[in-house]
Amino acid sequence: MLKINSFVFGPFETNCYVVSTDEQILLIDPACSNEFERQQLENYINQTLANNHSPLAIIATHGHLDHLWGAAWATAKWNTPVLMHEADIPMAKAMQSQYNLFGIRRTAEEFPIEPLASNLSPFAIIHTPGHTPGSVCLYFPFASNHLPFAITGDTLFRMGYGRTDLPGGNMGQLISSLEHLFTLPADTVVYPGHGDFTTIGAERR
């Protein structure tokens, strides 16, 4: 049984997802930026953990600050590192420079990071560079109670795609990544890093 729940967190209105399956619970993009948001996420995850006793993994679709506001808190709370593509680990470890770039008066907190392995389940990892060098999408092709879906971070939005004018962005790579995503089945539901959900079919028209 698969269940997906979303939260909109932080000043950038970033989507944070919790996907629970019979195998594990996935916290994707821990974007909670204040105590109220952290408590909201903690309550939901603790209830989910109690119901199915599955291990928790924390995954970041990429290394930008708005997807990692709550990373230090979440890794300490559930004693597990953030998993992300190795190409974005240096960016995530240089979080203070991202705060400085956006003029955010905040001191970066260190948190444990490990490379995202390619053998995780029940999803496939699709490397989609362009928005950042290590952007990934998580594709869930099989779910008995759900259409196939992809969590796309800031690679693909409803009627849009991620910006490429930040350090590490590359428009040519992003176009190639979008073309790759558009080979997924048309009924694949897209859960983006910001904004409303859509489908692959709607976005490739």
Whole-structure pTM value: 0.95
pLDDT tens per residue, the chain (205 residues)?
A: 789 999 999 999 999 999 998 778 999 999 999 999 999 999 999 988 877 777 899 999 999 999 999 999 999 999 999 999 999 999 999 999 999 999 998 899 999 999 998 777 778 999 999 999 999 999 999 766 678 999 999 999 999 999 999 999 999 999 999 999 999 999 999 999 999 999 999 998 8
What's 81's DSSP letter? P
Q: Could you give phi then psi for residue 48, rounded to 5 degrees?
A: -65, -40
Domains of the chain, each with CATH number or no CATH: 3-203 (3.60.15.10)
How many CB atoms within 10 Å of residue 104?
A: 13
The burial class, CB within 10 Å (0-12 / 13-18 / 19+), for 32 is buried
8-state DSSP, 117 = P
Tell me whether strands 156-157 and 149-153 are parallel, antiparallel or unpaired: unpaired
